[in-house]
Structure 1
Amino acid sequence: MKPWIKWTSAALAVAVLAGVGLRLAASNKAKKTTLEAQQAALQVPVRLELAPGDLIQARTLDLTRNLPVSGPIKAVNSAFVKARVAGELQGLTVREGDRVQAGQVLARVDATEYQARTRQAQQQAESAKAQVDIARRSFDNNRKLVDQGFISQTALESSSASLAAAEASYRAAMAAADIARKSLDDTVLRAPITGQVAQRLAQPGERVAIDARVLEVVDLNRLEVEASLAAADSIGVQVGQAVRLNVEGSNRSLTGKVARINPSAVAGSRSVLAYLNLDTTEGLRQGLFAQGSIAVGVSRALAVPVSTIRTDKPLPYVQWVQDNKVAHQTVTLGERGEADGVPMVAVTGLAEGSQVLSGAVGALRAGTAIKTVAGSN
């Protein structure tokens, strides 16, 4: 190979290596510049802008302690119409939802048999009355004969006993007639209260037994909630305490008061029943389920909304503003209650007037700078 070819090849190799080296150096410089820019950006403090509603002031408030309760809505006045005598049911026309008045005839039991029994009892009473008349006339005659000396005193006493037996038989017959008439009257079924038919438990033509349920009538003008309380909770509940309830499946809010408290616990569960009167019953129905709370007391304490308490650390804490930065403050939780309808919790370890971040802000790193906002909730 000629010498000039070798020198030319070597020069080209050196030039290529030099170009690659320059390119690598430029790439490293660009990466270094980018990294320095990123580090500089990280060193710039991030200032978080908060809306006025994101800050809540810790204040001393009157906390209403509420006891959760629930139970079915029941009519204060309700009654079952039962058959008082056995027989075929006739004339039943009312159905569920129909309004009835107290004393209104709702149905009848076939009275053929009871009419016959009544006539039989009356006739037996008339027969007993005739026997009394005969015994009385015999007694009067015997008394005259004794006065005249024709019969002995023993005969008069026997006649007196016969009269007493006849009178007793008559009274028994009259009582039997009264019972027969009562059975005849019981064939007519009347509404015991004014209200609406809630259940129809028998049909016309059906033979019903004594005490068989035929209808249920409820009065929706007075409704109450039957709430079951735990034994420990029942101690703090008193008649007259305010109640706030919601009907299940509805946004309707109801108010009322504790009307009565059962003096005995339910066997087995040891729960205590409390009866809650409702201020309004419009649109309500028996059997609906209501849940809410009873205001069982008021306490005054430094409190913050329950939603501001964070539990993602071993101890509960709040996020609050200190020198325009977010700080984490561990707090000790006390009693819970409500203030202006907001669930609150008493806290210690926080100063009065501290600006606490609401729960909607989420978790923030301690030291995060924030923009000062005017006003607070």
Structure 2
Amino acid sequence: MKIPRYVVIAAAVVVLVGGAAAGYVAWKQYEASQLPAGIVGINGRVEATQVDIATKIAGRVIEIVPHEGDIVSPGEVVALIDTSETMAQLHEGQAAAALARQTVATRQASVASDEAQLQFANEEMQRTAALVAKGWSTHEVYDQRTQQLNSADAALKAAKSQVDEAQASVKTADAKVEELQAVIDDSTIKSPVRGRVQYRLVEPG
């Protein structure tokens, strides 16, 4: 099944990070009748940075961990996206990668066998050539040995080509597994900062 393309969807939560007080802060004491002794009031402005926490992938939200007003820390999980379908695809990809590696091993064994066949065919041709030179064998037999040598050489080249194809399949399968794993990792949304949750813009489901 085709993996959904990475897209930016609505933010899951909005976190406000408290900032330092900015500007001039004027201190003024309230009237005694309004505040108890030892309590003072201040006038000023507090700035905050709003951080929208969103996901890079499309999916069904299965859990929003913090509630509005909760404090979250850097790296704390704030939302989870359903990964059941992606997980199934990951297992398929891992199986495909394992099969591709087995295919490489099989192809390499074929190469070893074809190399032995080529060596044997070459030795047979050399022996036949010596016998023909002495008149103990015919040119017809020599031609047969030459044909066998050419066939063994062609088989070895084909086997080596199949090894290259199998190794390319391994790389493709590994890349697919890596892509699916990245999707699963991105399905766990974490807070990048410490702050208070202001809004939950997405709810589970």
TM-score range, shorter chain: 0.5 to 0.7
Give the secondary-structure state (helix, strand or coil) at the position aligned to 2:105: helix
Can you list the C-alpha shifts for 1:246-290, whole angstroms capped at 9, x where unaligned? xxxxxxxxxxxxxxxxxxxxxxxxxxxxxxxxxxxxxxxxxxxxx
> After alignment, is 149-158 or 175-184 more displaced?
149-158
Partner amino acid for 2:90? T
- Residues 69-218 of structure 1: pairs in structure 2 closer than 5 A: 73-75=47-49, 78-149=50-121, 151-205=151-205
Which digits, 9 at most, give the CA deviation of each residue in 1:45-98, with x for residues without a partner? xxxxxxxxxxxxxxxxxxxxxxxxxxx9442xx532212332221221313331
Counterpart AA for 2:91: R
| Identity across matched positions, percent | 25
Q: Write 1 or 2 for the structure with the bigger share of helix.
A: 2
- Confirm or deny: 8 A CA contact 1:85 1:109 kept in the other structure: no
Structure of larger gyration radius: 1
Tell me: CA distance 1:80–1:147, structure 2 relative to 1, closer, same or farther (3 Å). Answer: farther
Measured against aligned partners, the alpha-carbon deviations of 1:123-160 in whole angstroms (never above 9, x if no partner) come to 11112112111111111111122222255323212111
Matched AA of 1:203 = E
**CA distance, structure 1, for counterparts of residue 51 and residue 166 of structure 2:** 44
Inter-partner Cα distance in structure 2 for 1:155 and 1:90: 55
Distance in 1, matches of 2:196 and 2:116, equals: 69
More strand by share: 1
Whole-angstrom distance in 2 between the partners of 1:190 and 1:93:
10
Q: Which runs of 5+ in 2 are unaligned?
A: 1-45, 122-148
Q: Is the 8 A contact 1:104 1:190 kept in 2?
A: yes
- CA RMSD, Structure 1 to Structure 2 (Å): 2.1
Give the unaligned 5+ runs of structure 1. 1-71, 206-377
| Matches of 1:105 and 1:93, distance apart in 2 | 7
- The aligned residue for residue 43 of structure 1 is none
Residue identity matched to 2:162: S
Q: Conserved in 1, the CA contact under 8 Å of 2:114 and 2:152?
A: no
AA at the equivalent of 1:116 = A
Secondary structure, counterpart of 2:60 in structure 1? strand
Give, as a single letter, the amino acid of the residue that structure 2 aligns with 1:115: M
Q: Which amino acid aligns with 1:167?
A: Q
CA contact (8 A) 1:85 1:187 kept: yes
User: CA separation in 1, counterparts of 2:153 and 2:193?
Assistant: 62
The answer to whether the 8 A contact 2:94-2:177 is kept is yes
Q: TM-score, normalising length from structure 1?
A: 0.33
Runs of 4+ in 1 over 4 A off after TM superposition: none
8 Å CA contact retained: 2:65, 2:77:
no
1:80–1:140 CA distance, 2 compared to 1 (3 A): farther
Hey, what's the Cα distance between the residues in 2 that align with 1:73 and 1:191? 20
The change in CA–CA distance for 1:79 and 1:161 in structure 2 (over 3 A counts) is farther
The count of residues paired between Structure 1 and Structure 2 equals 133
Contact conserved, 2:63 with 2:203, CA < 8 A, in 1? Answer: no
* Secondary structure, aligned partner of 1:91: strand
Aligned partners of 2:98 and 2:80: how far apart in 1?
29
2:62 corresponds to which letter in structure 1? Q
Structure 2 residue identity aligned to 1:103: G
Q: In structure 1, what is the equivalent of residue 11 of structure 2? A: none
Match of 1:298 in 2: none
CA distance in 1 between partners of 2:54 and 2:115 (Å): 55
